[in-house]
Amino acid sequence: MLIKDILDQTRPAYSFEFFPPKTDGDWDKLFYTIADLMPLKPSAVSVTYGAGGSTRERTHDLVVRIQKETNLTVASHLTCVGSSQDEIRQILERYDQAGVHNILALRGDAPKGQKEWTPSPDGFHYATELVAFIKKHYPHFGIGVAGFPEGHPEMPNRLKEIDNLKAKVDQGADYIVTQLFFENRDFYDFCERCQLAGIKVPIIAGLMPITTRSGMIRMAELSAGSRFPSALLKAVQRAGDNDDYVEKAGMHWATEQVRDLIDHDVRGIHFYTLNKAKATQHIYETLCMAGTP
């Protein structure tokens, strides 16, 4: 089933994100997590994608395995990094043959050690081009794209940022999944600015609960400037060096975010699970959300 159709039928829709294991020994561990989360009945799941072959084959293997062994709707991330147009077509053809027809089309980040992002020879410069390519050659696919409630780290001009997002939608994107955020007002403002720009596709809120202090630091580094509200920082500070308290504070904050988003009739919520089930299960149980065992 296409995610765009799910969003038309289910409100709010819930989705979970996984990343492919780096070692063979972690495969079973990941599928234990997926098994733990399946009773929550997510509307869809997605799998992240490594550029330049770093996890590309593992991504494909995981997506196909989820497609074959579960009843979950699965979407695969696909980036412009490290691939020519012909290689992109081959990847899409493999997914098509496997019955996987949902793609999250991304430009992708520069590989480690490379200061600036540069396209591959005969590759795509922007996600807009990738969306147009998929729509042209695989019109039966559903396409999602990324949105940035706190601003794109490489685009200080917030007006141009929304123009670029609209260009992706105009080329055929069916929905938007946002990067993580911790202040819901940033998400609501982002949605309103999209509306003003004429963007009418569903916008899914992306959330990642804080579970460790070191994890919060990594979030700040990876997302190039996540805004942590002072109230959240105070809660984490009160937890001190007790990891259990930090986890409880982070899950409580994320739970309140979800409650508020549901109260504001959000179209969907996307949980960045980090291949762990506990935080997502806690949120479901606390809010008595549909699918709770």
**pLDDT of amino acid 288:** 93
Domain assignment present for residue 153? The answer is yes
Given 17, 129, 161, 247, the catalytic residue: 17
* 17 pLDDT above the threshold of 90: yes
Domain assignment present for residue 19? The answer is yes
**pLDDT of amino acid 128:** 96
When comparing pLDDT for 219 and 280, which is higher? 280
Domain that holds residue 73: 3-287
* 27 pLDDT above the threshold of 70: yes
**pLDDT of amino acid 293:** 44
* 51 pLDDT above the threshold of 60: no
Which pTM was predicted? 0.93
**pLDDT of amino acid 5:** 97
Residue-wise pLDDT for 112-130, tens only, equals 656 666 667 788 989 999 9
* Backbone angles phi and psi of 218, in degrees to 5: -65, -40
* 226 pLDDT above the threshold of 80: no
Which DSSP string do the residues of 226-250 spell out, in sequence order? ----HHHHHHHHHHTT-HHHHHHHH
What CA–CA distance (Å, rounded) separates 225 from 217? Answer: 10
What CA–CA distance (Å, rounded) separates 72 from 277? Answer: 16
Domain assignment present for residue 275? The answer is yes
**pLDDT of amino acid 82:** 75
Domain assignment present for residue 166? The answer is yes
Contact 57, 88 (CB under 8 A): no
Q: Which of 33-42, 208-217, 267-276 has the lowest mean pLDDT?
A: 208-217
Domain assignment present for residue 90? The answer is yes
Structural domains counted in the chain: 1
Strand extents, DSSP E, the chain? 13-18, 44-47, 74-79, 102-106, 142-147, 175-180, 203-207, 268-272
**pLDDT of amino acid 110:** 58
Residue-wise pLDDT for 70-91, tens only, equals 999 999 999 888 788 999 999 9
Burial 257-275 (b: 16+ CB within 10 A, else e): bbeebeeeebbbbbbbbbb
What CA–CA distance (Å, rounded) separates 48 from 58? Answer: 10
**pLDDT of amino acid 46:** 97
The whole-chain average pLDDT of the chain stands at 90
Residue-wise pLDDT for 247-291, tens only, equals 999 999 999 999 999 999 999 999 999 999 999 999 999 999 965
Residue range 131-146: mean pLDDT, rounded: 97
* 181 pLDDT above the threshold of 90: yes
Domain assignment present for residue 227? The answer is yes
* 223 pLDDT above the threshold of 80: no
What CA–CA distance (Å, rounded) separates 131 from 264? Answer: 30
- Asked if 17 is an active-site residue, the reply is yes
Domain assignment present for residue 293? The answer is no
Return the C-alpha torsion angle 158, 159, 163, 165, nearest 10.
20
When comparing pLDDT for 134 and 25, which is higher? 134
For residue 276 the two structure tokens come to 């762990």
**pLDDT of amino acid 57:** 82
What CA–CA distance (Å, rounded) separates 217 from 214? Answer: 5
Domain assignment present for residue 292? The answer is no
Q: What is the CATH number of the domain that holds 45?
A: 3.20.20.220
